[in-house]
Structure 1
Amino acid sequence: MSLKTDGLYGVLVCVLLTLLPQGSFCQLELTAAGPIQNSALVGDTVILAVSYSGATNPAIIWRKGPDPVVTWTINSNTPPDIPPSMSNVLRVNTNGSLMFVNLTLDYTSSYSLEMTKSGLGTATLNFTLTVYEMFENVTLSSQPDLAVEGSDHFTLQYVMARGVVQEATWLFKGTNIQSNSHYSVGPRSLVIQTPNRMDTGLYTLTLRNPYSSVTVHRTVTVLYGPDDPVLTLTPAKQFYVSGTSLRLSCKAVGLPPPTVKWMFAAVILNDTKEGVLNLTDVQTSQDGDYTCTVVNAQTNAMRQKNVTVKVYEKPKGSPVCSVRSLADVELQYECAWPGGTPEAVVSFPGLNNSSSAPGHLILNMSAADSLSGTPVSCTASHPVQPGMCNITASPPVPFLPSLEFGVNSEGKIRVTISCLSAAVPTSVVSWLRGTEAVNTGSVHSISPTQLTIQDYNISTFLLHNYTCFCRNPLGVQQRQIQLLAPTISDSSLLTNQEGTVVTLTWEVPPTSVVTGFDIQMQGPDLMPSNQNVGRSNSFRTIQQKPGSARSTDILTLDPEKRYKFRIIPKARLTEGEPSTVLRIGPAEGLSGSAIAGIAAGIPAGIILLLILIGLIYLLIYRNDDSEQARYPVTTDKGVKTKAELASNNIRMAAGLNNYNPDYNRLRKAPSEHSGSLPMFVPPPPVRVATTV
């Protein structure tokens, strides 16, 4: 039935009722069928019960606060309109009552029902619902953790895992606490303003709701102190002789009892509540102020007080003497014996009888020959024990400079010359370039004993001689350094037994400016692992070595091939003269010109061969026996063994640059020469010689 039809029906009913003898009046009435104010536990089922009269099938709207939560027409076939988020909790009975199933805390609110019927007006009814939980795990905490007398405030607050508070009561030592100038009671806390020691005691909190109650306690202790410490010294004396013992005591009052620290020279000596410090066998190192610090361990409040302990003792060790250069013209003698109580009086009686000082004396003297090599004594006078020390001044001694070469990060050649001469006092080093003083700049930099020269061009280093001077007030030593262009002064070669590895060694003059070496080779390429590129008849670089290198190994050589080696000294990009060429391998065969001459003489040789062939045959036949003795047959068929090659290599390493066989042995009768020409074949190189 539609709302319009229902409305007409309601009007007709009212009209009929007015015609009845009773004269009844038609009106929509809504009443509560249960309590208006309701409370429940989480998880309960609660019904906000209502009843109505004067209309049939009215429309209802339930609101939670201002928000509608249920809309429905009673007895309608259409289900109630309930938000999806509440559909698992809210239900509507057929009479319009609102049911809550499995309540949660967020349903605590005010609720209202609005019921309407067309033609009969609107009726409303209000309810309240409070949802409670049972109290669980209620605890009290404080902020800050410690209550300190004189602080701004101290707060007690409670937290709980579960529960809804209807009433909270605070007690101090059993007395109810109300908000006033000293206490402030808040929703979940109690604030104590400016706590003092009288606030120390037991605090109690009771929480209640219609379904449960809980009481928790917390004891608060208000901390105070410490007071000024009181110091005592036993035995009481103005000073103590080293080796004696004494006792220091420090006491103070506070809550909790303060911790006492004794400190000396910023070092903690002990840390106790008793505050007693025992010093046994005291020494001069223990002379000074001792500080007692009392600390409240919980509040960190602190007070300090000092006491001075005096310990007298002679200086430790022995006097120390020294001499240094002053303005390069005077000698400054120094004698020190510090420490002790009182300080020792030191003097140089051999230099000046009237000068003395406590603990430390400096005396300036003009440099004189009489002071060179002469011991000078310092005497130290002390009541307990005297002391003495000696110092001898000496001029610089002859020295040798040392040189170091390299290339800096900018690619400049760097030469570092070091000059150091032993002297007392230590000598001062200065430098000349030619006749001009050297100063630090773009090319030169000077340190106490070194001169560093930097430039891209090697000519900068070779233009001038450099001289270093080592001087002190008693004398001077100098050395001149003439820098040389890159030079190899000596070189040698050595092979292994198999002839596959060569070791090159070389030497460089001490003042030759060398920053690197190119190792060059002439001959066939090495094994592919060396990645060598070049022709066998020209020198090419196979290795590059730093300026500090003096040897290198060349691997993967073929012992049956000839090689030549040389070392090129370099100063950055400038190359010096190559070293002597070092050779290894079988001796060289006939030269190209010799082969050309032989080729040109072949036609004439053929004619001569035809004329003399008969004579040669006769001579060979007749002199067969003598030829066998003169020309012994070798068993190796012209091939040298590895041992012979190694022997040749050793001879090469020893500097045998040229080995020429004695061909005079082969000069025989003219008939022998003429007979051998037609049979001439150049002998294999290995059969003749091995040349280094």
Structure 2
Amino acid sequence: MKWMEELDGLNSVFLAVLFSFTFQGANCELVVSPAGPTVVNTLAGSTVTLAVSFSGAPDPVVAWIKENIPVGTWTIKSNSPPDIAKNSRDVLTIEKDGSLTFINVPLNFTGNYTVELTKSGLEKASTTFTLKIFENIQTVTLSTQPDVAKEGTERLTLNYSMRQGVVEQQIWYFNDRELKNNLHYLVEERSLVILRPNRSDIGRYTVLLSNPFSSVTAHKDVTVHYGPDEPIIVAQPAKPFHVAGDSLSLSCHAEGLPQPTVMWDFGGEILSDTLKGVLNLTNVMTSQGGVYTCTLLNELTEERREKAVTVSIFERPLGSPMCSVLSVNNVMLQYLCSWMRGTPQAQLSFPGLSNTSSGAGSFSLTVTASANFNKKTIICMADHPIEQNKCNITTSSPLEFIPAIRTTVDLDGKIVVTIHCISEASPEAVVSWFRGSEPVTSGTFYQISSNTTQLKIRDYNISNFLLQNYTCTCRNPLGSQIGQIQLQGPSISDSSLFPNKDGTVITLTWEVPPTSVVTGFDIQMKGPDLLNKNGNATHIKDSSNGFRTIQQKPGSARSTDIFVLDPNLTYRFRVIPKARMTDGEPSKVHRIGPGLSGPAIAGIAAGIPCSILFLLLLGGLIYLVVYCHRKKSHQTRYPVSRAVEKAKASQPDITPHNLMAGGLKSLPDYNRLQQTLSERSVSLPTFVPPPPVRVATTV
């Protein structure tokens, strides 16, 4: 039909216009370049311009950014003024060609500035400038830290200060010799550091400060003080120990400038009866035995050194007796007792084990283990001429325990599963390991710790860890305990999602079965991109309508925070447990957001104009059908003869009334109106409505 051919022609024109707009500008390229130097030096308070030129498209959008922070935007030739950051409006302005001008520029505007030009349909173009703002250098002084230079300290620092100025270069000199960074000198910002200063560092230090607009020098004379050196202590007479009633002297001295003073300390008390560092002790008693400390002080540098000497005069052992128990061949118990030092040594014994055995200083006694020793306390008696003391030890068989596992990945990329079996016992339990019924020994695949409490399993393939029963037996001479564990693949036992009150941040938590081998987690999301801090969508590479990984967490993690979410959109989250490259079953999917997701809303919005267009086309088609039908119904009808009408009346009229489109009936038959009542006594035809027309809208 002709109208359908015209409709096809209009569709062709529409598609041609659409393709023309789609590919317009495909061969254009937006280019921006500096119209001057990219490194610009200027004095504070002056006016300077970062000049640019561009080509490739008219009236692009210009955005100036300082250190990733936008400071101004403007569309070339736009009637609206440039949008300048609030804290920069008194300084910055964007020129008609997109250049950035600084008016009475302050020092804090030093930095890197990037200009980005954008135009719809074209790739972004950008270039970067470095702006350095200086002040003239004035009134420079040098100081040292600390104030007094001391030999042997970690460092001596010369700092410079100035009334004003910005320094671009500093050069340090020692006695007119330029200093460079080495093991002894370190040039830092605003300072020179002398590492481990000594006597040879005494002299004049000079600093030269400069920038493109000024240059200044300053000097400082430095003196390094030293001492005291290592103290020397001499005891007269020299004996390993002294007996009560003896007399002795202790002398202490050391080199230093100025000469250090000497002070003796005994038991935290300063001894005043000394002369030039010599301490005289006469008619000593046992209570005077112990540690004597000599302290030498340089009163100028406040540097001090200490050295101690022990004077033994029948002193008691230090501290208290110590008791312990060891396993011998896993069938014997070895009890140990010690109370070291002291003169004479203490006598030690275990009365509960033997009435005849004893030892001096350190003593041990071995007995055969039996059930009678389980949870039995044994006492060690310590006898000394000055004091009697004791200690005790309680033996016990291993207690019940639960094996624990920890999963990591080593430097070779292997999965490392560490099984811990620790049971409280005295003496300490020895652990033996089995896989199934076979004993486990250290090798490439298995490693047992030196104390046998840990078993490390190393492999690349997670399948080699699974479906294996591991048994650890903790044993000492008094008994044993067994623990079993069967490793399982990466899995998550439970997970939860907790949003904040605004719906912009969520906390995702999860739990892992205690025997699951997990080295990490992938946090996955389905839905629109997350927002950045400025409220813009953060595009994630390879994003799709399915789940995508947005975070990766180590195997020890059990929660994570995700932000920033749009509370008006719908997101779905899940956690994938991983054992190196093997993924476990994902956690349940957690949904947050309103009823309709962002894509669904977008689909509805896109479907509305399509539905309207479809209804318009359908209405035009119905109108055309009605028009053709009406044209046929309006043909001229003539009255028929009475005889013919009577002949027709003898037959029942079974033809239904025709309804025209739009609900209009056809014109009445005037020949039938002239019939008699008997001739029109046939039953009226039944009205059959036309079938309904359904219109479907696809969303």
**What's the TM-score once normalised by structure 2's chain length?**
0.42
**What's the TM-score once normalised by structure 1's chain length?**
0.43
